[in-house]
Amino acid sequence: MAPAARVSELQVERETERQGYEGLQKKLKEVFSERSGILQQLSKTSKELDSIKGNLQMPNPFSFQG
C-alpha cells in the first residue's frame, strides 16, 4: 500500500472513531439528563410520602381522649 493511501486510510479511521465518540458522548448526556429527571421525581415523591406519613400520624381531634 502506498504511503499516501495509508495516511488517507488512517484519517478515515480517526474520523470514524471521532464520530463514534461524539455519538457516545451525546447518548451519555441524554442518559444523565434522564437520570437527573428521575432523581428529581423520586425526591418529590419521597417528600410527598413523608407528608402523607406525617398526616397519618397526627392524632385525630375527633377521637375520645378519655
Residue with cell 410527598: 48
pLDDT score, position 65: 63
> Which residue would you say has higher pLDDT here, 5 or 50?
50
| pLDDT class of 6 with cuts at 50, 70, 90 | confident
Question: Alpha-carbon torsion 22, 27, 28, 32, what sign?
Answer: positive
At 8-26, the pLDDT tens digits run 999 999 999 999 999 999 9
Helix count and strand count (H, E) for the chain: 1, 0
Q: Nearest to residue 29, comparing CAs of 11, 37, 49?
A: 37
Q: Nearest to residue 49, comparing CAs of 38, 37, 41?
A: 41
pLDDT score, position 29: 98
At 26-57, the pLDDT tens digits run 999 999 999 999 999 999 999 999 999 988 88
Residue with cell 461524539: 22
